[in-house]
Amino acid sequence: MLNSLKGNLRFVLAFAGACLVGVYIHEIGHAVAGWVQGIPVFPTPAKEYILLDQVEWDQETWISLGGVIGTVLVVLGTLLWYVRSNRFIADAILAGVLLTPCLYTVRFLLVGRGHDALEWQAAQSALGLAPAGHAVDLLFLGLLLAGIAVWIVRRHSSLRLSSVVRVLGLVVGGIALLVILQTTNNALFDQFFPKTTTMDVPAGLDPR
CB of 165 to Zn ion, least distance (A): 31
CB nearer to Zn ion: give 67 or 131.
Answer: 67
CB of 121 to Zn ion, least distance (A): 12
Residues 87-119 as b/e (b if ≥16 CB within 10 A, e otherwise) read eeebbbbbbbbbbbbbbbbebbeeeebbbeebb
CB nearer to Zn ion: give 67 or 114.
Answer: 67
CB of 27 to Zn ion, least distance (A): 7
Binding residues for Zn ion, total number by CB under 5 A = 1
Longest CA–CA span in the chain (Å) reads 60
CB of 184 to Zn ion, least distance (A): 17
CB of 63 to Zn ion, least distance (A): 9
Burial of residue 168 (number of CB atoms within 10 Å: 0-12, 13-18, 19+): exposed
Residue nearest to Zn ion (CB): 67
CB nearer to Zn ion: give 82 or 140.
Answer: 140
The footprint of Zn ion on residues 46-75 (CB under 5 A) is: 67
Report the distance separating Cα 110 and Cα 157, nearest Å. 30
CB nearer to Zn ion: give 91 or 119.
Answer: 119
CB nearer to Zn ion: give 28 or 170.
Answer: 28
CB nearer to Zn ion: give 67 or 101.
Answer: 67
Under the phi-then-psi rule, with left for phi > 0, alpha for psi from -120 to 50, and beta for the rest, what region is 193? beta
Residue 64 backbone dihedrals phi, psi, to 5 degrees = -65, -45
Q: How many CB atoms lie within 10 A of CB 40?
A: 11
CB of 164 to Zn ion, least distance (A): 30
Q: Quick one: which of 159, 120, 127, 126 has its CA closest to 141?
A: 120
Under rule CB under 5 A, residue 101 binds Zn ion? no
Sites of contact with Zn ion (CB under 5 A) = 67
